[in-house]
A = this chain, B = another copy of it.
């Protein structure tokens, strides 16, 4: 029994479904369902308010943060869970700006996830200090880095194409110009090896419901480099980021290190699901998962290109420049994806024309890839996607 047979057995997958959308929402680990049920019954139900201490709810955001920290190469004690990814982006940006008085530009790329850009827009607008957000092509980032730039904010893996930035190289180039980096690891954590400490990243954020399988709306994480963690004063200065929350002081004093990035009461039920979901990583390491994901991705690309000539690969062909997803474009992408989902092969569609497939070896194997490719081939060949229902739907969406 291979390690991946073992990890696959840890997940619930609906009968007959091939799930290639774990890059959007990971499937249910059996264990997470049990753990949440136990937590609710034995902790919330029986311990009531005392659960904050007795069941360790108060420390959970750091305890779980550390487990994710190990997956992204963070120093121990420098990742904490909470809120949503958008909020964590805001926190990182606000702190990074504080470190850069006199610099007025945030650089990002047009492949960044829109919410990251929106949060930057909102921050820039409220601060009203003449800051601007400069969006460049993903391939032109290095040319945009100069001494006027305060922050380089990037999502490492493009949510549409899977194109992966070279985090080490861009961080180094940014630092050469005195620029602080904010990395969004939404499509990296649990998907590709990341080593935050080694590349010298300043801030990193990410979500837990994609490749970390924490369930819909699971909390986000934030990393602050040890050299910065005690230097920044959070813009979102909530009581659980206070040095002594239960002193109920009237003034804020930041907690030590990344703990200051905590804000309000943590989502204990969602964290229970996440904590259980992370157990799969006790059985397999990131490099093993990555190697397998590349093999499966190459197989999927080869099969689809061989059998579906109308689909155009929009992910990088070079595996080293690609995250753990494969995307193709087609003008009728929406209709094709609907037809595919009707055949129980679940990927997703991203406007305007992208079919997106997450390659997640923890629960997807070679046979799934071959079946997905052949189902896609049959749909394209038979023009199944061309039928009225899908076409109509595609045109109005």
Chain A interface residues toward B at CB < 8 A: 12, 14, 17, 19, 21, 24-25, 27-28, 32-33, 36-37, 40-41, 44-46, 48-52, 57, 83-87, 90, 94, 98, 110, 113-115, 117-119, 121-123, 125-129, 135, 207, 209, 215-220, 233-240, 242, 246-252, 263-271, 273, 341, 346, 348, 350-351
Residues of B within 8 A of A127 (CB): 126-128
Known contacts: A217-B270, A271-B217. The answer to whether A252 contacts B118 by CB under 8 A is yes
Instruction: Known contacts A264-B86, A265-B217; decide if A233 and B125 are in contact (CB<8 Å).
Output: yes
Which residue on chain B has the smallest CB distance to residue A27? B48
| Contact assessment for B57 and A238 in the assembled complex, using a CB-CB cutoff below 8 Å | no
Known: A269-B217, A346-B48. A121 touches B251 (CB 8 A): yes
Most chain B CB inside 10 Å of its own CB: which residue of A90, A234, A269: A269
State how many angstroms separate the Cβ of A42 from the closest Cβ of chain B.
10
Residue pairs across A and B with Cβ atoms less than 8 A apart, 14 shown, are A14-B46, A21-B48, A25-B52, A33-B40, A36-B37, A87-B87, A90-B236, A94-B126, A98-B126, A114-B250, A117-B252, A121-B237, A122-B236, A217-B270
Question: Nearest CB to that of A159 among chain B residues?
Answer: B248
Contact of B268 with A86 in the complex, beta carbons under 8 Å:
no
Contact A114 B28 (CB under 8 A): no
- Name the residue among A28, A237, A346 with the largest chain B CB count within 10 angstroms: A237
**Contact A215 B40, CB 8 Å, known A48-B27, A264-B83, A348-B49:** yes
